Amino acid sequence: MGKVLSQQQINAYHEQGFISPIDVMSEDEATSYAHRLKAAEEKYPNELSGVNRNNGHLCFTFLDELAYHPKVLDAVEDILGAHFSLWGSVLFIKEPNSSHFVSWHQDATYMGITPRHFVTPWIALTHSDRHTGCMSMIPKSHLNDIQPHKDTYGEDNILTRGQEVANVAVDQAVDLILKPGQMSLHHAMTIHGSQPNQSQHQRRIGFALQSFMPAGATQTIGQNNWSPARGHCAQDGYHYLPRPQIDMASESVMTRDKCNQNFSDILYHGAKSKRDY
């Protein structure tokens, strides 16, 4: 038995490559975070979209609160052990009735982090199901190596390069149905993707903590950014990222911008072109 996960859930994560759902907060509390997001988007129209969908937790206190929510950290500790840090975050928003989707991929492919057993909590702030375009996972796919990915740059594909694994056993895919306030955890090697949001009125908002790195993990392509999460996770050569005290302080924005440039250099390393996210 872990701090929040049962032994069965911990075993399932290691065997299947993901677990879901895990309760983090009440539906009302999650909805209030969705409202805080909406208010921030209205006040700062360019600060949470495009390249700035990345690492918003460095500039906005409500995203920082979510990233360091004790239930999230307890669940990560149950998987990774007592020492880990946070590398980054991504807001995955699909607007109602939009064609945006996420192709089948493995996160570890372009993230430059080794070893590749880091973990991503994905927190739902709205309903995430078949209708709104939830994530689907291919069980046990994390037990294989990185599969060849083709960079499609598909217009509606919201992954950086539109990277895609071919010949996925889609009949085995498991949908991760989440209510607002629940999260899933997935392994960096698990093949996963998601379909468009067909709802007429409901945004699908997921906040991915991408990813929590175990102590000893290193960055092989770019700068090794480091936000302490639990235990002793500092290492030589790491670049420490401070947490925000207020929204959009100029130093935080500078840190986030540098971090996003580094993020982009890593994720597009060797790519034929770059998009603005």
Q: What gap in Å lies between CA 165 and CA 103, rounded to an integer? A: 8
Which structure tokens are listed for 136? 């689907």
Neighbouring C-beta atoms of residue 75, cutoff 10 Å: 26
Of 71 and 235, CB closest to ligand AKG: 71
Among 194, 199, 219, 255, binds ligand AKG (CB under 6 A): 194
The verdict on 207 binding ligand AKG (CB under 6 A) reads: no
Whether residue 211 has a cis bond before it, omega within 30° of 0:
yes
Comparison of 33 and 247: residue with beta carbon closer to ligand AKG? 33
Phi, psi torsion values for 255, nearest 5 degrees: -60, -45
Q: How far apart are the first and last CA of the chain?
A: 39
Nearer to ligand AKG, 13 or 92 (CB): 92
- Reply yes or no: is the peptide bond before residue 121 cis, omega within 30 of 0: no
What minimum distance in Å lies between the beta carbon of 71 and ligand AKG? 18
How far does CA 263 lie from the centroid of its chain? 13
* The one among 66, 102, 125, 176 contacting ligand AKG by CB under 6 A: 102
H-assigned helices in 121-249: none
Least separation in angstroms between CB 96 and ligand AKG: 15
- If one asks whether residue 123 binds ligand AKG (CB under 6 A), the answer comes out as no
Site size toward ligand AKG (CB under 6 A) is 11
Q: What gap in Å lies between CA 36 and CA 165, rounded to an integer?
A: 35
- Interacting residue with ligand AKG among 60, 62, 87, 92 (CB under 6 A): 92
Tokens of 232: 């002793």
Q: Is 135 in the site for ligand AKG (CB under 6 A)?
A: yes
Q: What is the CA radius of gyration of the chain?
A: 17
CB 131 within 8 A of CB 253: no
Min dist. Cβ of residue 98 to ligand AKG (A) = 12
Q: In whole angstroms, how close is the CB of 242 to ligand AKG at the nearest point? A: 24
Query: Closest separation between CB of residue 84 and ligand AKG, Å?
Result: 17
107 binds ligand AKG (CB under 6 A): yes
User: Between residues 166 and 246, which has the closer beta carbon with respect to ligand AKG?
Assistant: 166
Please identify, using beta-carbon distances, which residue of 84 and 247 lies nearer to ligand AKG. 84
CB of 251 to ligand AKG, least distance (A): 28
**CA neighbours closer than 13 Å in the CB half-sphere of residue 79:** 28
Q: Which residues make up the interface to ligand AKG (CB under 6 A)?
A: 92, 102, 107, 120, 122, 135, 192, 194, 206, 208, 210
